[in-house]
Amino acid sequence: MNNVFSLLVFASFICLIVGLVKPTAFSRFIKGEITRKKIAIIFGIAFLFFSGLLGSVTNPNSGNLSETEKVAEQKIETKTPANQSQQQVITQTPKAVAVSSKARTQFVYDIPSLLDKNYNQIKTKLGKTTKVVQADNQADALFIKQGFEFYVTYNTKTKEVIEFFLVTDDPSGKTQDINRLMDIGNLSKDDARYTVEFTRPIDDKSAYTGITVRTAVAAKAKADRAKAVKDAEKYNVYASVCAKMEVEAMLKAPSTAKFPRGIPDNILFSPEKNSYTVISYVDAQNSFGAMIRTNYICVVADRPDTMCDAQCKLE
């Protein structure tokens, strides 16, 4: 089903672009006068509709989970420290975790006690780092204690901790006793202050390489960022189409208009005004029949459920 909706999204987007460039290409399918505005409305709405359907079927079970199951479900994702190979992200529920040790193991790292501390405070508590690998504004600091590797990922500017990663001490680099590793970090599946994610290697689905721990605030922030990116992709199409329709209506020769392919890079959302600002250009004939390039700025109201509401200025 995902493939079908993906194909429909792609097809409607291609039809939108083709229609904006050459409206007459659809004359045998659409009755009446064929204009770019009409094409943009038909295929723009189709693109948004199929995109919404694709998003709803991507995770069909999410709406059917009980509250207890939602709380219990653990989201497993990739954690690739500097000296480790790429690892597979999985979704894991506590009841599916491998059998635990019979006796609780004495913890080596008291991870819950580190949640409210910045990197400098953690370094003071844990002692000297084995190594620090930095990339852009983020770094992974490695601590080793009693044979267990423990990574602290933090922001190099603010020193705010992003996440922790506790690695198994098994010589093979993987373990089936994930509860022992939970004990090593003094972790609990029921502690609401943080989330626990079990990471397994690509080549062995029965074992685990370690545990990623994030504070509840950090986990929510990550989920919010992912949702914001997904929403932006959908509404940027809406804003782009509305802006092009309004600009085309302002031209001397709308039928000669040629816009850049795809969605403009310069689309900014203003939460205060609840609107999008679209900055782009169009090539079209002027009153003398000469093809000229005109820059434009459009402010599009955030109303994807209604007709386009855009105010544009040609420069």
* Measured distance CA(54)–CA(36) in Å, rounded: 26
The structural domains of the chain, with segments of one domain joined by +, span 1-64, 72-208, 227-315
At 238 the pLDDT is: 81
The β-bridge relationship of strands 148-155 and 194-199 is unpaired
How crowded is residue 170: how many other Cβ atoms within 10 Å of its Cβ?
Answer: 16
Q: What is the predicted pLDDT for the residue at 305?
A: 58
**CA–CA gap between residue 147 and residue 234 (Å, rounded):** 48
What pLDDT is attached to residue 104?
Answer: 66
CB contact set of 219 (below 8 Å; sequence gap of 6+): 194, 195
- Residue carrying the six token digits 């509305």: 242
Architecture of domain 227-315 in this structure: Roll (3.10)
Question: In which order are the strands placed within the sheet that holds 291-301?
Answer: 266-270, 275-285, 291-301, 310-314
Task: Report the pLDDT value the prediction gives residue 59, as an integer from 0 to 100.
Answer: 56
DSSP string, the chain: -HHHHHHHHHHHHHHHHHHHH-GGGGTTTS-S---HHHHHHHHHHHHHHHHHHHHHHHSTTGGG--HHHHHH-EE------TTS---B--EE-GGGSPPPPSSPPPPS--GGGGTT--HHHHHHHH---SEEEEETTEEEEEEEETTEEEEEEEETTT--EEEEEEEP--TTS-BS-HHHHHHHTT--TT-TTEEEEEEB-TT-TT-B-EEEEEEHHHHHHHHHHHHHHHHHHHHHHHHHHHHHHHHHHHSSSGGG-BPPSSS-SEEEEETTTTEEEEEEEEEEE-TTS-EEEEEEEEEEES-TTSS--EEEEE-
Predicted pLDDT at 292: 95
Confidence (pLDDT) at 153? 92
Q: What is the pLDDT along the chain (315 residues), one digit of tens a residue?
A: 667 767 777 777 787 787 777 777 766 677 667 777 777 777 778 778 777 777 776 655 544 444 444 444 444 444 444 444 444 444 343 443 443 444 667 899 999 999 889 999 999 999 988 888 888 788 999 999 999 999 999 989 889 898 999 999 999 999 999 889 999 999 998 888 888 989 988 888 889 999 999 887 776 776 766 666 566 666 788 888 889 989 999 999 999 999 988 777 788 888 778 888 999 999 999 989 999 999 999 998 876 555 678 899 998
